[in-house]
């Protein structure tokens, strides 16, 4: 497991909570009001964006389908699908029961951007400490 990259994802999500959205793999078409890159992504999307470089990722990989982002994120994070690691981390319906009160219809996280960001950071922390088992 690439803990170093997971820590970078946590910091990126906390740095700009409005750019975290577990409902989309990665949306590089968004532009911030100041004209900067406004890329929005989920845990897997941010892992890919950080590994490749945010600006390049937003330009080059926007439009990637979910399986491609999921596959690349697994590779960059050194986690496995067969052992259930990537579904446990990337899909909210597979998150531990402690998160269920904040998961709404279709697996969407409830709450304001800061709430969602803190939930994601906590989810990543639990994943790291359990070595991907929870």
The model's pLDDT over 78-127, given as tens digits with 9 standing for 90+, comes to: 999 999 999 999 999 999 999 999 998 888 899 999 999 999 999 999 99
Return the pLDDT at 33: 41
pLDDT band at 66 (very low <50, low <70, confident <90, very high): low
What does the domain layout of the chain look like in residue ranges? 3-126
Reduce the secondary structure of 38-87 to three states and give it as a string.
CCEECHHHHHHHHHHCHHHHHHHCCCCCHHHHHHHHHHHHCCCCCCCHHH
């Amino acid at each position: 497991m690439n803990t170093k990259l997971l820590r970078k994802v946590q910091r990126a999500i906390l740095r700009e909570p409005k750019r975290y959205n577990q409902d989309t793999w990665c949306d590089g078409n968004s532009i911030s009001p100041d004209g900067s890159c406004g890329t929005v992504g989920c845990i897997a999307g941010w892992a890919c964006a950080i590994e490749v470089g945010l600006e390049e990722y937003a330009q080059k990989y926007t439009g990637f389908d979910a399986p491609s982002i999921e596959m690349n994120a697994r590779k960059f994070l050194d986690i496995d699908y067969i052992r259930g690691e990537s579904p446990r981390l990337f899909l909210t319906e597979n998150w531990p029961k402690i998160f269920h009160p904040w998961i709404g219809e279709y697996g969407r996280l409830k709450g304001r951007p800061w709430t969602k960001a803190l939930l994601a950071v906590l989810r990543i922390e639990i994943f790291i400490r359990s070595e991907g088992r929870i």
